[in-house]
Amino acid sequence: MYKFDEKVNRSNTSSVKYEEMNLKFGRSDLMPFWVADMDFKSPQFMLDALKERVDHGIFGYTKRMPEYYDAVASWLDKRHGVVIQKSDIEYGPGVVFLLNMMIRLFTKPGEKILIQSPVYYPFKAIIEKNKRIVTDNVLVLNESHYEIDFEDLSQKAQDPDCTMMLLCNPHNPIGRVWKEAELLKIAHICKENKVLLISDEIHFDLVYKPAVHYSLGKLGTEFDDHIIVCTAPSKTFNIAGLHSAYCLIKNSDMMNLYREELGLLDLNRSNVFSRELTQVVYEKGATYVDELVAYIESNIVFAKDYIEKHIPEIKPMPMEATYLMWLDCKALRLSNEALDDLFINKAKLALDSGYWFGDSGQGFMRLNLACPKSMLEEGLMQLSNAVKSIQ
């Protein structure tokens, strides 16, 4: 049994989550429930693997590791039913890096790229910073369930200037796991309109029954030239600081172009730890992930029950995946600024503000549940007291 209830002091460790709150929220005395990393100490098998490599004492250039590709392919097969050739897998420092690369390699400045807001805010930022144009297929909130407006998606995909779509699967921040039928419909729309579909699947291991993640890597060969999957062990095993992600590209010409660009940037070797640790976690981490998912799911139940009982003005959206709870705060009838003030200055909590994820996220907040339950309870108590103070 892994110890998810253990509190770990993360001060003075250069943690963005703890040490950049002042930059993001204007004060540093907040409980951090914002950026998506976990407050759980890495399991011993990971620490042992890192220590063994450190103890060797030499950290020179690192060659390509066949075992890395074996481990990734095995994990994808056993955990997600994705059967893929090792030649279709390639390393990248991070998923946002990979998304940037796909935009730069396979679209041109001035072209349009589809997203589905409210969505992970780097999607919009990297499109605009690469001088492409955001086209938003806004998700429809039907009571507490988000749905895709397929008529709007189809219409926007038909624009000849629209050449790519960034899909979030599972979706951050709304916690939806897109169903196979929904994904097939998206894939067909994109293929028919020559829109390259890029699927960010970084949260694919963190899914709660009865939901089942369906990777676009499982679609038939007819989509091989039209889909690229980007994912990583970083959310699952909380190793974003080691910069280890990968993409699945079945079209050999596109893969060769990506590998060439990766080499030109001198990023094809990776650091000495990232690929080795990816191999280790994928070979030894199945039980850990099962227990992690169970613990986070218990936090979801706890948070939902606590909020419904003590803060009924806030409505947690159903969660099928991720460890990020999407909170509907619209019943408080507060402006963006007033809602931020409630959480930051009254509750003394750091959460991601809903409007960061697009206009359709206004009135929402995103709560990170990947922490010891005692920390979550303390934070929710502070929020409850803050809401009572403004009534």
Backbone angles phi, psi at 102, to 5 degrees: -65, -40
Q: Coil, strand or helix: which one is 182? A: helix
CA-CA-CA-CA dihedral for 282, 286, 291, 295, to nearest 10: 40
> How far is the C-alpha of 208 from the C-alpha of 261, rounded, in Å?
37
Tell me, what's the pLDDT at 1? 81
pLDDT of residue 269: 83
**Consecutive sets of 10 residues in the chain, 391 residues long: mean pLDDT of each?**
93 95 96 98 96 95 90 98 96 97 98 98 98 98 96 98 98 98 98 98 98 95 96 98 96 98 91 93 98 98 98 98 98 98 98 98 98 98 97 85
Measure the CA angle with vertex 167, ends 107 and 337; round to 5°: 105
Kind plus residue range of the DSSP H or E element containing 67: helix 66-80
Q: How far is CA 340 from CA 16, 34, 368, in A?
A: 20, 13, 16
Q: Can you tell me the distance from the alpha carbon of 215 to that of 213, in angstroms, rounded to the nearest whole number?
A: 6
pLDDT of residue 62: 85
Peptide bond into 118 cis (omega under 30): yes
Q: Which residues contact 30 (CB under 8 A, 6 or more apart)?
A: 21, 344, 348, 349, 350
pLDDT score for 250 = 97
pTM value is 0.97
Residue 372, phi-psi category: left (phi > 0), alpha (psi -120 to 50), beta (remainder): beta
Q: What is the rounded distance in angstroms from the CA atom of residue 324 to the CA atom of residue 235? A: 11
* Contacts for 385 with CB less than 8 Å, ≥ 6 apart: 347
Compute the half-sphere exposure of residue 256: CA atoms within 13 Å on the CB side of its CA.
Answer: 3
The residues pairing with 90 across neighbouring beta strands, listed in sequence order, are 247
| Domains along the sequence of the chain with CATH | 16-43+286-389 (3.90.1150.10), 60-284 (3.40.640.10)
pLDDT of residue 64: 82
* Radius of gyration, alpha carbons of the chain: 21
> Residue 191, Cβ neighbours under 10 Å: how many?
18
* Amino acid 358: pLDDT: 98
**Peptide bond connecting 318 to the previous residue in cis, omega within 30 degrees of 0:** no
Alpha carbons 289 and 67: distance in angstroms, whole number: 21
| Tokens representing residue 43 in the block | 């399991």
